[in-house]
Amino acid sequence: MKTLTKLIAIAAALGLAPAAALATAAAPAPTAAAPAPAAGEEAAANVAAPAAPAVPRTAPTPGVGQPDGRYGLQDQVSPIGHEAAWFHNIILVPLITIISLFVLALLAWVILRYRRAANPTPSRNTHNTTLEVLWTLVPVLILVVIAVPSIRLLAHQYSPPAADLTVKAIGNQWYWEYEYPDHGVSLVSNMIPDDQVAALGEPRQLAVDERMVVPVGATVKVIVTSNDVVHAWGVPAFWAKIDAVPGRLNETWFRADRPGVYYGVCYELCGARHGYMPIAVEVVSRERFAAWVASKGGTMPGARPAVAPAAAPPTVAASEGTAATPAPSNTVAAVEAPATTNQSAPSN
| Alpha-carbon distances, residue 163 vs 66, 68, 72, 142, 279 (angstroms) | 26, 31, 30, 36, 21
Q: 12: Cβ–Cβ under 8 A, 6 or more apart, which residues?
A: 18, 19, 21, 22
Look at the chain and count its residues.
348
- Three-state DSSP at 313 gives coil
Q: Provide the pLDDT confidence category of residue 284 given band limits of 50, 70 and 90.
A: very high
Distance of CA 241 to the CA centre of its chain: 16
pLDDT at residue 173 in the model: 93
pLDDT at residue 56 in the model: 84
Position 311 pLDDT exceeds 80: no
Q: Provide the pLDDT confidence category of residue 326 given band limits of 50, 70 and 90.
A: low
Distance of CA 57 to the CA centre of its chain: 18
Rg (CA), the chain: 39
Element (H, E) at 78: none
Average pLDDT, the chain: 80
From the list 193, 187, 182, the residue with the least C-alpha distance to 220 is 182
Position 49 pLDDT exceeds 90: no
pLDDT at residue 27 in the model: 43
What's the whole-number mean pLDDT along residues 225-245? Answer: 95
What's the whole-number mean pLDDT along residues 339-348? Answer: 45
pLDDT at residue 6 in the model: 57
CA atoms within 13 A on the CB side of 226: 17
Report the share of the chain in percent with pLDDT over 70: 72
Q: pLDDT digits over 36-45, tens only?
A: 444 444 444 4
Identity of the amino acid at 312: A
What's the whole-number mean pLDDT along residues 310-333? Answer: 50
Match domain 165-295 to its CATH number in 2.40.50.150, 2.60.40.420, 3.20.20.70, 3.40.47.10: 2.60.40.420
What gap in Å lies between CA 247 and CA 232, rounded to an integer?
14
Report the share of the chain in percent with pLDDT over 90: 55
Q: pLDDT digits over 185-230, tens only?
A: 999 999 999 888 888 888 999 999 999 999 999 999 999 999 999 9
